[in-house]
Every structure is written in structure tokens, then in C-alpha cells.
């Protein structure tokens, strides 16, 4: 309350002592997000797929795994909107259930990399010296691999499965967040209020939690939104290479891999899963771009 | 003269330091790659050979891979072999990997270079025209396409290309690198060069036709990113003083801006090459899988299928090493291209 009043007074002072109501920052952010049509479209797409994922059992007309061999590779029709695959499974139902998998992998893998990356970044940035040296070298090494390649390496150690693909994607994204948070910590550490906090005897953990962490949140949110987009593509790529989801899981990348031999007879088996991947990724990309413009104007290209 | 000398000296020290900073990264890379086989839970030989393997075959492979010795000795051996250019033996073909790998590497290089050229030429020009006609229908369409471009899974794009251009229209071949009934006699393994060296324009056209679809698929993402970056740079250039001066002098605006922005586009494009090579090399694995392109990605993909761990290790190591090397070159080029970039630190 006191801080808010103080901020108000300062604002009034600099604005030429005109009494006016201050908009809370989150509301301001929402207004500019709302004005950004592309970002809003992105949010719309993402919400659409989240809803589909939640109500999948209600809207899916068929099971995602029941094989009806009499109905193999039927083209799209009013009965099977997106056609059927080589086992006679309804592609529309499989895509609807697939939304659950892609969103789940995208969200939790990024959550994992955010948590691990933030922790390592804070430790490296705040404690510096050899801790920083070691962590930063590890990041360097991880970034020396093209990301999908590192994911393949991790999966070949852990064995192919959807869960291991998720872990692999989480691992490969750690250095991105780690570096981001580290650089933020380094710049915040120099600020006078941190020195003041230290001078009055505030403990390290308290400084980290109260001052440094909140300052790193907005770039991390931006980066995380964009990372979900990449994670979804990477999960699909691993599924496509046979290193992610296994049959009969209706993962979109896996669906493409299973149908790629039927490209001549049944191209619809390939068309729709790809569109689903593209739209979801586009949604997160648009949202991330929009959030970047709003939360972190300096990051604008 | 003296300043030139000190400049050269500075550049030299920078280069040396940058090269030396790679050493820990390279060591770390070998450790990661080494771990691929040794971190597998259980007996790696069992994993490689599968469930139905006999005890003898497991014992033979364990011995062949030297898995019965302590890991640090194995690692020392591995490094020693690497330093002698020995990448091990493929479990599938039984051939030495360092001999096999060249043709695959050349195939990937050819594909990637052509893809990058397409991405740069189309991307830079689209970006410039978009910025010039900013807020026009061309700008909107180009930027929406660019947005979609960065969101496309390239393996799906490749499949769609095959569907439309090979299967429906029959314009271009679906897979492979050459006409299998009339194979190219390899000299450099860069088929575009080889066919010309042998004076076979017919084969050159065939090879080119095989290149179109995979290189377009691979080019999409970098093309989209380059277009967006160039457009942003261009919009800045157009508001700068020298462009206003040029306009005041009555010069043809478009060409002034075009020339200036091309120069200004060098840095973003360099950055992209550095940043996107990883993506491109990673993308090559997917593109090559779809188009049956006999490159390093396909080599790796097949190795994964056969659990050919020595090839998986070497493939990953080689690709990562190339990636690091290209980044080094890009970093050094920066300093040469843009004198504003400091190389003291």
C-alpha cells in the first residue's frame, strides 16, 4: 500500500502534478495484449486446443485405438471427418486425443526446463566464481549440440518412450533458461537496492526470492511461451523418428510416421495431423511474440 | 602501418583465444557422446543385440566394444582413437565409420548449402520488399507466410511437398539423390560438381531435380526467420539520415535502400547462419529421413533403427563438431565484417 502510494506520488510529480488513477501493471499489459491482434489470435488458438484436449472424450466420435479393419483408409466423409488410417481408426478422434499429448508434453517439458534452468541460472549468477564457471561450461557444451540431436542422444540413453522424449526436451532447453536467468541476475545484482538490502543484513535466499527472482519472471515467461512451441515440434519430431510416443498413442508426430508409407493411397492420413501440429505451434508462437512486445520491449527485434 | 600491425595482432590473439575456448566444449562433447553407450541401464551389449541374443554373441560384442574394462580406460581409448581419426566400426556394415562417413557428409553438405542459399536469397529479398512496401498486401502476406513458416514441422512440409509435387503433379522425384539406374560416378561426392566435372548435363539436371524438394523443405524455417529479421533491419535503415540525404539528392530511393540494406543485412544473415546451422543440421536428419537422402542424418536415423551405437555416437559427434566449427567461423567473420564489434574480450 505504502509503495503504491509512493509510486503514485512520484508519477504525479514527474507527470506535472496531475491527479490521475494509475492502471495496475497487469491490466496495462492485458490492454496492450488485447490490442495486439496477432497475439490475441494466438491466445485464441491455444485456448481452442486446450478446450479440445479437455473435452476430448466428449467430442471424439470414436475411440482413438479401436481398430476397424473393414474401414481401412477411408477418405474424409461425414462419418469420418478426417478419414481413417491404415488400421481403420478415426483420424479426427485420434487428433483430438493427440492434443492432450502435445499440450501435456509441451507444457511439462518447458516447466521442467524453466525450473531447472532458473535454479541453475540463479545459482550461477548469484554465487559467481567457480560455481558459475562450471555451470556455464555445462551450458556451453549442451548448446554445442543441435537441439534435436541432443534430444536423440538423451533418448538413446533412456530408451524410446513418450515420457523419455519429454525428459529429453526438458533437458535440451535448460541452458536457454539458465543463461537468460543468469544474465538477469548479474544485471540485477549490481543495482543499488540489492546492495542496500545486503547492507541492512538481508539474507542471500531472501534477496534471491524477494528481489532477484521477481525481476527475471517476465523474460522467462516470454521465452517459455516460445519454448512450448518448439517443444511441441520437437516432441512430434521425436515421435516421427520413432524415439517418442509408441503405438497406439495418438501422438501427432507418431501418426505421421505410421502413415508415411500410405502417402499415395491415403494422403489425408498425413495432412490433418500436420495441420494440427502447425496450428498449435503457430498459436504459441503468436502469443510469445505478443508477450515479448508487451513485457519486454527491449527484446523487440 | 604500426596501427595496422597492432590490429592484426589483436585479431590474431582473439582468434587464438576463441579457438582455445573451444577445448572444454569439445572435451564435454566427447564425454556426452561417450556416455550414450555407457549410460544405458543394464548391459549395453544386451541392449544393442536385443532380447533374443545368445550369451556368446553378447560376450563377443562386450569384448569387441571393450565394455568389460573400467570406463575411464575406455574413455582414454576412445579419445586416443578419435585423435587418430578413428571413429570405430559400424556394427551393421562392419565398415570403418571414418571411411563410410564422407559420402554421407558430402550429401548433407550439398543439401544444406543449397537450402541455405535459397533461404538467404529469398528471405533477404522478401524482407526488403516487405519493408519497402510496408503495410501493403505483399507485406502482410509475406509476414503471415513467415509466421507460418517458423511454425511448420519440416518433416510434415516435406511429406506435403511429396504429395503435391511428386505424387499428384508428377513433376519431381519423391526420394533419393540420383537416378538409381544411371548412378553418378562419385569424385567429390558433391553430385552437382561431379556431374559437371564428367560433362554430364543430363545427370546434372536429374540431380538438381532431386535436390529441389528436400532443399525447399529444409530452407523454409531459416527463410522465414531471415525475412523477418531483414524486414526489421530495413525499416530502421529507411528512417536513417543517409537515406533521407539520398532521397534529397533525388536518387532512386528503391535502389539506395536496396543497396544499403543489403549491406546492413550481412550481420543479421551471419547471425542466422550461425544460429540456424544447428537447426538446419537437426532439420537435415528429418528431411533426409523423408526424402531418402543419403546424408549424415539418414545415416544416423538408420543407425538408431539398428541400434548401431558406434555410428550413433560418431554421427552425433561429427554433426556437433561441424556446428561448433561453423559458429567459430561466424564469430570470427563478425569481427572482420563489422569493425564496431570489439574483439578485445
Write out the E strands in B119-184: none
> Inter-chain contact B279–A146, Cβ cutoff 8 Å?
yes
B286-342 pLDDT per residue, tens? 888 888 888 888 888 888 777 788 888 888 888 888 888 888 887 777 777 665 555
Chain A residues in contact with chain B using a Cβ-Cβ cutoff of 8 Å:
38, 137-138, 140-141, 144-150, 152-153, 156-157, 159, 229, 233, 236-237, 240-243, 253, 256, 260, 263-264, 267, 270-271, 273-274, 277-278, 281-282, 285-286, 301
Confidence tier at A115 by pLDDT (50, 70, 90): very high
A248 cis-preceded (ω within 30 degrees of 0): yes
Closest CA in chain B for residue A136:
B25
Q: Give the pLDDT band of residue A300 (cuts 50, 70, 90).
A: very low
What pTM was estimated for this model as a whole?
0.83
Does A149 sit within 8 Å of B285, measured CB to CB? yes
B39 contacts on A by Cβ (under 8 Å): 157
pLDDT band at A168 (very low <50, low <70, confident <90, very high): very high
Q: Which chain B residues are within 8 Å of A137, Cβ to Cβ? A: 24-25, 28
**How far does B302 lie from chain A, in Å, by closest CA?**
10
How far is B18 from A263, CA to CA, in rounded Å?
48
Q: How far is B16 from chain A (nearest CA, A)?
A: 18
Give B-chain residues touching A159 at CB under 8 angstroms: 40
- Look at residue A231 in the predicted model and tell me its pLDDT: 93
CA distance B232 to chain A (A): 7
B312 near A CB under 8 A = yes
Q: Please, which pLDDT band fits residue A1 given cuts at 50, 70 and 90?
A: very low
What angle is formed at CA B98 by the lines to CA A165 and CA B174, rounded to 5 degrees? 60
In this prediction, residue A171 carries a pLDDT of 93
Distance from CA of B315 to the nearest CA of A (A): 10
Give the pLDDT score at B332: 79
Asked whether the predicted pLDDT for residue A299 surpasses 60, the reply is: no
Q: Per the structure block, which three cell numbers stand in for A25?
A: 501493471
What pLDDT is stored for residue A116 in this prediction?
A: 95
pLDDT at B42: 66
Question: Which residues in chain B touch residue A149, judged by CB atoms under 8 angstroms apart?
Answer: 281-282, 285, 316, 319-320
Q: Which residues pair with A90 in a beta bridge?
A: A84
Query: Do A284 and A232 form a contact (C-beta atoms < 8 A)?
Result: yes
In this complex, the residue of A157, A237, A270 whose CB is nearest that of residue B40 is A157
Q: Which of B25, B286, B319 sits opposite A141 (nearest CB)?
A: B25
pLDDT of residue A16: 47
Helices A147-158 and A213-240 meet at what angle, rounded to 10?
70
| Helix A91-127 vs helix A129-143: crossing angle, to nearest 10 | 150
Per-residue pLDDT tens for B48-97?
A: 777 777 888 888 877 777 777 888 888 888 888 888 888 888 877 888 88
State how far the Cα of A166 lies from the Cα of A256, in Å rounded to an integer. Answer: 19
Its ipTM equals 0.80
Q: Which of B14-23, B177-186, B207-216 has the lowest mean pLDDT?
A: B177-186
Asked if pLDDT for residue B239 goes beyond 60, the answer is yes
Model confidence at A48: pLDDT above 80: yes
Say yes or no for a CB contact (<8 Å) between A237 and B153: yes
d(CA A280, CA A291): 17
Q: How far is CA B219 from CA B122, B135, B140, B166, B179, in A?
A: 10, 25, 21, 19, 23
Tell me which chain A residue has its CA closest to the CA of residue B143.
A38
Residue A82 CB-density burial (10 A; 0-12 exposed, 13-18 middle, 19+ buried): buried
**Which tens digit of pLDDT belongs to each residue from A10-29?**
555 554 444 556 667 677 77
CB proximity B176 to A under 8 Å: no
For residue A87, is pLDDT > 60? Answer: yes
Altogether, the residues listed in chain B come to a count of 345
The ranges assigned to domains in chain B are 14-83, 102-337
Question: H or E segment at B36?
Answer: helix B22-38
State chain B's maximal CA–CA distance in angstroms.
85
- Do the chains contact at B32 and A141, CB–CB below 8 Å? yes
- Which among B130, B147, B151 is the top mutation candidate for probing chain A, defined by the most A β-carbons within 10 Å of its own β-carbon? B151
Q: Which chain A residue's Cα is nearest to B31?
A: A141
- Least CB–CB distance from A281: residue in B151, B283, B316: B151
Instruction: Find the residue in B nearest to A140 (Cα).
Output: B25
Q: Is the pLDDT of residue A8 over 60?
A: no
Contact (CB<8Å) B29/A140: no
The minimum CA-CA distance between B162 and chain A, rounded to whole Å, is 8
User: What is the average pLDDT across A108-127?
Assistant: 91
Alpha-carbon Rg of chain A, whole angstroms? 24
Chain B CA closest to residue A300: B232
Question: Which of A137, A242, A270 is facing B163, going by the closest CB pair?
Answer: A270
- CB of A173 closer than 8 Å to CB of B63: no
User: Considering only alpha carbons, which residue of chain A is nearest residue B316?
Assistant: A149
DSSP state of A190: T
CA distance B268 to B233: 8
Over the stretch B23-35, which tens digit does the pLDDT of each residue have? 888 888 888 888 8
Q: How far apart are CA A13 and CA A82, in angstroms?
A: 62
User: A133: nearest CA in chain B?
Assistant: B24
The stretch B98-113 carries a mean pLDDT of 87
Q: Given pLDDT bands bounded at 50, 70 and 90, which one contains residue A169?
A: very high
Minimum mean pLDDT range among A113-122, B2-11, B298-307:
B2-11
Contacts of A156 in chain B (CB under 8 A): 36, 40, 304, 309, 312
- Measure the CA dihedral A216/A217/A219/A222, to 10°: 170
CA distance A227 to chain B (A): 12
Q: Which residue intervals of A79-210 are DSSP H helices?
A: 91-127, 129-143, 147-158, 162-189, 192-199, 204-207
More confident residue, A298 or A249: A249
Residue in A38, A263, A278 nearest the CB of B151: A278
What whole-number percentage of chain B has pLDDT above 90?
A: 1
User: Which residues 6+ apart lie within 8 Å of A221 measured at CB?
Assistant: A291, A295
Is domain B102-337 given the CATH code 1.10.3720.10 in the classification? Answer: yes
Q: At A301, is the pLDDT very low, low, confident or very high (cuts 50, 70, 90)? A: very low
Measured between beta carbons, which residues in chain A are less than 8 angstroms from residue B36?
A: 153, 156-157
Contacts of A46 in chain B (CB under 8 A): none
Interface of B with A in 232-291 (CB under 8 A): 232, 277-279, 281-283, 285-286, 289-290
Give the model's pLDDT for residue B344.
45
Amino acid at each position: 500500500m505504502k509503495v503504491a502510494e509512493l509510486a503514485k506520488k512520484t508519477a504525479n510529480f514527474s507527470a506535472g502534478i496531475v491527479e490521475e488513477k494509475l492502471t495496475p501493471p497487469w491490466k496495462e499489459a492485458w490492454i496492450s495484449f488485447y490490442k495486439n491482434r496477432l497475439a490475441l489470435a494466438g491466445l485464441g488458438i491455444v485456448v481452442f486446443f486446450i478446450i479440445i484436449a479437455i473435452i476430448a472424450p466428449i467430442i471424439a466420435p470414436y475411440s482413438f485405438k479401436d481398430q476397424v479393419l473393414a474401414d481401412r483408409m477411408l477418405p474424409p466423409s461425414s462419418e469420418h471427418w478426417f478419414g481413417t488410417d491404415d488400421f481403420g481408426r478415426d483420424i479426427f478422434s485420434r487428433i483430438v486425443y493427440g492434443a492432450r499429448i502435445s499440450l501435456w508434453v509441451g507444457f511439462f517439458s518447458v516447466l521442467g526446463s524453466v525450473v531447472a534452468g532458473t535454479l541453475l541460472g540463479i545459482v550461477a549468477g548469484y554465487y559467481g566464481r567457480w560455481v558459475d564457471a562450471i555451470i556455464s561450461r555445462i551450458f556451453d557444451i549442451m548448446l554445442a549440440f543441435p537441439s534435436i540431436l541432443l534430444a536423440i542422444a538423451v533418448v538413446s540413453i533412456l530408451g524410446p518412450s513418450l515420457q523419455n522424449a519429454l525428459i529429453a526436451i526438458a533437458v535440451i532447453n535448460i541452458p536457454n533458461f539458465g543463461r537468460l536467468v543468469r544474465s538477469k541476475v548479474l544485471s540485477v545484482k549490481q543495482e543499488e537496492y540489492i546492495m542496500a538490502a545486503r547492507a541492512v543484513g538481508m539474507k542471500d535466499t531472501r534477496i534471491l526470492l524477494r528481489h532477484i527472482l521477481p525481476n527475471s519472471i517476465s523474460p522467462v515467461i516470454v521465452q517459455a511461451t516460445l519454448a512450448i512451441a518448439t517443444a511441441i515440434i520437437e516432441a512430434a519430431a521425436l515421435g516421427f523418428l520413432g524415439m517418442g510416443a509408441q503405438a497406439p498413442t495418438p501422438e501427432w508426430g507418431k501418426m505421421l510416421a505410421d502413415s508415411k508409407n500410405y502417402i499415395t493411397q491415403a494422403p489425408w492420413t498425413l495432412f490433418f495431423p500436420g495441420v494440427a501440429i502447425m496450428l498449435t505451434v503457430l498459436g504459441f508462437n503468436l502469443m510469445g511474440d505478443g508477450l515479448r512486445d508487451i513485457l519486454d520491449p527491449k527484446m523487440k527485434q | 602501418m604500426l596501427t595496422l600491425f597492432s590490429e592484426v595482432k589483436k585479431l590474431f590473439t582473439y582468434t587464438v583465444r576463441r579457438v582455445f575456448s573451444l577445448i572444454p566444449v569439445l572435451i564435454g562433447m566427447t564425454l556426452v557422446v561417450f556416455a550414450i553407450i555407457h549410460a544405458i541401464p543394464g548391459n549395453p551389449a544386451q541392449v544393442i543385440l536385443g532380447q533374443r541374443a545368445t550369451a556368446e554373441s553378447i560376450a563377443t560384442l562386450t569384448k569387441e566394444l571393450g565394455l568389460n574394462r573400467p570406463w575411464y580406460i575406455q574413455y582414454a581409448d576412445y579419445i586416443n582413437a578419435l585423435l587418430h581419426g578413428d571413429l570405430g566400426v559400424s556394427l551393421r556394415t562392419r565398415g570403418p565409420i571414418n571411411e563410410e562417413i564422407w559420402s554421407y557428409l558430402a550429401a548433407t553438405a550439398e543439401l544444406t548449402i543449397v537450402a541455405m542459399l535459397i533461404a538467404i536469397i529469398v528471405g533477404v529479398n522478401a524482407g526488403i520488399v516487405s519493408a519497402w512496401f510496408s503495410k501493403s498486401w505483399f507485406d502482410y502476406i509475406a509476414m503471415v507466410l513467415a509466421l507460418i513458416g517458423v511454425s511448420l514441422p519440416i518433416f510434415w512440409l516435406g511429406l506435403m511437398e511429396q504429395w503435391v509435387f511428386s505424387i499428384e503433379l508428377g513433376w519431381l522425384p519423391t526420394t533419393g539423390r540420383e537416378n538409381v539406374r544411371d548412378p553418378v560416378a562419385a569424385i567429390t561426392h558433391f553430385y552437382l560438381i561431379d556431374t559437371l566435372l564428367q560433362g554430364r548435363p543430363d545427370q546434372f539436371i536429374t540431380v538438381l531435380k532431386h535436390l529441389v524438394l528436400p532443399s525447399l523443405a529444409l530452407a523454409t524455417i531459416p527463410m522465414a526467420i531471415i525475412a523477418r529479421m531483414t524486414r526489421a533491419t530495413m525499416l530502421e535503415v529507411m528512417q536513417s539520415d543517409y537515406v533521407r540525404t539520398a532521397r534529397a539528392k533525388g536518387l532512386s530511393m528503391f535502389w539506395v535502400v536496396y543497396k544499403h540494406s543489403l549491406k546492413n543485412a550481412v550481420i543479421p544473415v551471419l547471425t542466422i547462419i550461425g544460429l540456424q546451422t544447428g537447426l538446419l543440421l537437426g532439420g537435415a536428419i528429418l528431411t533426409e529421413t523423408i526424402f531418402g537422402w543419403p546424408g549424415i542424418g539418414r545415416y544416423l536415423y538408420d543407425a538408431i533403427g539398428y541400434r548401431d551405437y558406434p555410428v550413433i555416437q560418431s554421427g552425433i559427434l561429427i554433426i556437433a563438431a561441424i556446428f561448433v566449427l561453423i559458429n567459430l567461423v561466424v564469430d570470427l567473420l563478425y569481427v572482420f565484417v563489422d569493425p564496431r564489434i570489439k574483439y578485445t574480450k
